[in-house]
Structure 1
Amino acid sequence: MLALLAPVLRAEHRVNAQDEPAPMARASVAPGEAVVVGQPVTVGIEVLVPTFFRGAPAYDALELPGAIAFFNERGTNFTERIEGRTWAGQRRSYTIYPNRVGRYEVGPIPVEVRYGVGSRVVVDTAYAAPVRFDAVIPEAARGLPVFIAAAELRLVQSVEPAPDTIRVGEAFTRVVTTEVDGTLSMVVPPLAFDSVEGLAVYPAPPRLEDTGGERGTAVLGRRVESASYVATAEGSYTLPPVRVDWWDWTTGRLRRAEAPGLAFEVVANPDLAAEIELPPDSLDVEEASAGPGATGVDERLRRWLTGLAIIAGLAYVGYRLIGPRIPPWRARTRARRRARAESEAAYFRRLQAAVRSNDPRASANALAAWLDRLDPIGGTGTAGELVDAAQDPALGTELRRLDEVLYGAGSSDASSWSGAALAGQLKSARRRVLHRPAASGLTDPSTLGPLNPRES
């Protein structure tokens, strides 16, 4: 973000501002100090400085035994009057999913801030006081074999093809999807597809999906499980319903979700019997019952059917060996695509697009995100370090122009700003820093929207 442009002025110091109040941080916990296991807890952090921000605050990752914690990248800015003075503030948050019973303590939480004092950049650390919460399993749910909590849980079932009546040797697939609102797919336990006499059961690896959570959207966890059933004997069959007992944290009561059972008939398969039957093996019988030349024809037919059976057997074995590997292969492919989307090159393309669109705010945000991924410049990943690494004063000039457009006296001229020159300087700087020995990796993961809100 654009506060990363301030170090271009090379006025960054770690000092104690004698004439300015120290920055402050405070933490809050929601929905409260008591939640059920698996229910998300939001720990909000507000950090305030007495003047204005000159860099993105740096937050540490949370590590809580028995819990999963995520830092929410999206933040908001605000101003607050404290003892007759206007302070600039930013709100960020962590989302914590407790997965065992017990008391959790978060903090004290350090936040490193950079703010302006005259022409200097002051670097200091503010500490938010610890917050605590308890995760419990309600009394009414303690008898469950597995405790699951959600705002809503649904079981969605599909069967393809519909098995009202099938023949021996035919197959169908039962797919059961568990959807949970407000929490992650990892809290959903696996379903059991029990074996049934007369049916061969082939469960597939589960597929876990999580969506939402960005920009305040609701979190949805989804676990998809399936099994293929192959009929091996005639008869009447009933597959039991799938039931999941779960705790609704919005109403504070135990609920049950159910996917209906399946009832169907398996009948004889004449086609399968005809495929399996082979010509008689006795040459005497063939010669006695067939006319001249029939023996050679029958022998060729038998060899053809034998070869066909071998091919079918090899195909089945290959499917059993390779089939289970297809979902992991797809997962690896998706992971590679995500890695490419999160690569330094991908972020630089987004930066170039933002700069060439002549949008100063989008350009500042894209610049900060790209600098976080540009390892060769080392340090903390500021625009000033990029200028130093590239040894490009012209780049520094263009970055200062962008800084002035957004935060200087000429901010009203933002609509007339052109990024063409900056785009070219950034491209040249990137080429230079990527072709020099790397100094050290960047470790600051913070990216923010606009840093310095103006009081209306």
Structure 2
Amino acid sequence: MRRVCRCCLLLAVALTAILARPLHAQDAPVLRVTASAPAEGQTGATIKLQLEVMTSTWFTQPPQLPKLDLPGVTVTPPSGHGELVRDEQNGQSLNGLRYTYLLSVESAGALHIPALSVTAQLGPAGAPVTAESAPLTLQIKGAARLGNVVGDLSVTQSFTLTPDPLVQGGRITRSVTQRADGVQPMLLPPAPLGDVPHFKRYPREPEVVTLTDGRGGFVGAQRIDQADYVAQESGSFALPPLTLHWTDARSGSPKNQTLPGRQVDVAAAQTAPPPFSLQADLAALRHGLRWAIPGWAMPAVIGLAAAGLALWLGRAYWQRLARALGAVARRARTRWLVSEPRYWRAWQREAHAAPAVLSDCYRWIRRSSGAAALRDAVAPLAQDERQFVESTLRHAYGMNAAKTAWRAPLASRSRVWRRAWRKRPAAVHALPKSLNPLHHEAPPRTGDADAPHR
């Protein structure tokens, strides 16, 4: 009985240990990140860097892949689609995804790839777990060859004539297709479709696509270059052959392939007769009775309509502008009416007109000198000027006032006075002396300021 109990106890302990192992493994899910790439590569070739992200449970969200930046290397990140992989580690089943980075190295030497850190959310808890791969070192060999593809390249071409046979003005389309396995699309150079004598070249946009295996896996690239050659003249002409160069990815030796040209015969273009008579149609439509509108009529009508629309839309502005211009004109006229040149012209006309009066002369004197009387105006001038004024006043208001010989000398002498008065500084105020309260002299009596003393 004791032996049976002892055996049952040992069996229970063994079952507990066996059941505890998967429970412990389930509590701590495993995340493994592994990076792998060829140990050696060729400059200009495309190297596949595969990153495997595996777990013992499952992913609740897609893994967060790192961004890879390497100096002197063109890196194409994964497209987002991973390849399903399975493995076993220490008796534990792992499953996950394999992602591919595409590397194009430009120079030879050692290429160091750092550790790549990946974060993933694992079930059943969905807690984020981070793991990283081991760093890698690749050896890149060979010298860089600009414009050359490194890989397995296949080249084909085709010709299409429109029309066939070709005539002057028709076109021949030359298409060159490059297909390379393990090469990124950006590394395929354009085909040398250059100009050809007797043809006008019209290049088309290249068609560049990435070749996949149907499941998101990278296979290679394909590039199609096309150009239309339009025949400019008739005759027999040849399109030259084309040579494309690349480098073998395995041996590193240069290779090339020459595409043959083509001899084409271009016939002269025939002038096709019109399908109908234009003159007959115009005659049937009574074109001769129609009015011919000159070419300038339509632009003129459009211009007038636009100007009328602008005037109508801006009528408020134009009205304000007209009022402002009218106010400016009125102010200018007012300034002219009270200006010295205007009084001067009036006095000059009066000096040669009948009757012999001094009305405009006194107005001009008042405006130019500020004095109301002729004697006061010439008082600051020289003695001979004052004597001339006395003599003129005696002739104008004396016994022989009917004579007008004194007007011409007065008009001539007033020019001298005008120059003298213009040189005087302007008064600090606009009031004449007769109205200035600060002036202590008695104002002269009106009407006898220039009368001769009797």
TM-score (norm 2): 0.48
**Which has the bigger relative contact order, CA under 8 A and spacing at least 6?**
1
TM-score (norm 1): 0.48
